[in-house]
Amino acid sequence: MKLKVEERLIIHLDLEKDSYDIVIERGALANAKDYLDLDRKVLVVTDDGVPKEYAETITSQCKEPVPVTIPQGEGSKNFENYKMLLSKMLEASFTRKDCVVAVGGGVIGDLSGFAAACYMRGIDFYNVPTTLLSQVDSSIGGKTAIDLDGVKNIVGAFYQPKKVLIDPDTLNTLDQRQLSAGLAEAVKMSLTSDAELFERIKNSNDLSADLGEIIKGSLLIKKSVVEQDPKEQGLRKILNFGHTIGHGIEAFYDGKYLHGECVAMGMLPMCSEDVRKELQPVLEKYHLPVSCDAGREELLPFILHDKKMNQSTISVIFVPSIGQYEIREITSEELEQYIPQ
């Protein structure tokens, strides 16, 4: 798929001393050294599901590259890989002046970002997202983490990258399922914050023509939310829309569904009847699942394990009409009523 996007777009994320640019440019991988300081030791982290030429293109521009490839999938976001990345840096005598580059999707960004946040109390981190999900959402905003004992993202840090370099050409090699899973996160942002973006996704007849605007629209929402609430004290919770039930489904099925597919299923119960009627056909149009076999009894223990469960209540996001949201503080008993039987 050849995307139609503007020649180059730079979105500045204003976070005072942690501010950075998100550069979106077709073919940007080949020009990475124009944007990233690679004239030092660079840990280049990727996974075996990412076409290897992407990380090689970055590695070839580094003065002293240390390339690492881990197995694809959420299972890699673990303590062993985190320790392995730290050991690689230590073995190669990385100092505070060196850096980490993540080349891949959300798993690679979260894991490498966390290693960068912790090595010598924090070294420079660059994110080069190559999936739609990471380009519209996870590479921005500084959430880094690993999973522990089956609980997703339970150990991590807010650690902003020094730059995010998005090359939309990398989406040309992404399969339809991954593309749709990424689109689910764009749908998520449109539902809480931008009815026009939702219409664009809903009415698209040619995703390759519209994806550039969809990425841009999603990034502008993410920018605005993260700038107002970088550490998820309030507003940023809206980016977790669909994730409470979604994370439960993801944990219960343990790898059967992609993260974005779980978000798609997790959004539907958190909308008004009218929004659900509009949303379901859009998810189906992009071949996203809208329900799963597991019922309330099976999912609830996995949902309550989610880190957002805060003593007696949990914050969930509800969409009463497209482009609007409510942050609801509910008990676990009330949450049960949202989960389909």
Site string for ligand GLY, 239-278 (x = CB under 6 A): x---------------------------------------
Establish if 143 lies at the interface with ligand GLY (CB under 6 A): yes
Establish if 137 lies at the interface with ligand GLY (CB under 6 A): yes
* d(C-alpha 43, C-alpha 64), whole Å: 9
The CA-CA-CA angle for residues 230, 238, 161, to 5°, reads: 30
Q: Which is nearer to ligand GLY, 138 or 193 (CB)?
A: 138
Task: Identify the sign of the CA torsion 264, 297, 316, 236.
Answer: negative
Q: What residues from 31 to 50 belong to the interface with ligand GLY (CB under 6 A)?
A: none
Q: Which is nearer to ligand GLY, 41 or 222 (CB)?
A: 222
Q: Are 339 and 333 in contact (CB under 8 A)?
A: no
Site string for ligand GLY, 227-246 (x = CB under 6 A): ---------x--x-------
Q: Which is nearer to ligand GLY, 186 or 239 (CB)?
A: 239
Establish if 193 lies at the interface with ligand GLY (CB under 6 A): no
Query: Which residues are marked as active site?
Result: 121, 143, 185, 222, 232, 236, 240, 243, 247, 259
Residue nearest ligand GLY, Cβ-based: 239
Angle in degrees, 0-180, between the axes of helices 273-285 and 176-193, rounded to the nearest 10: 160
List of residues 6+ apart from 286 with CB closer than 8 A: 180, 183, 184
Q: Considering only residues 113, 141, 182, 260, which one is a binding residue for ligand GLY as defined by CB under 6 A? A: 141
In sequence order, what DSSP letters do the residues of 25-39 get, joined into one string?
ETTGGGGHHHHS--S
Report the C-alpha dihedral over residues 214, 215, 219, 220, rounded to 10 degrees. Answer: -40
Residues that bind ligand GLY (CB under 6 A): 137-138, 141, 143, 236, 239
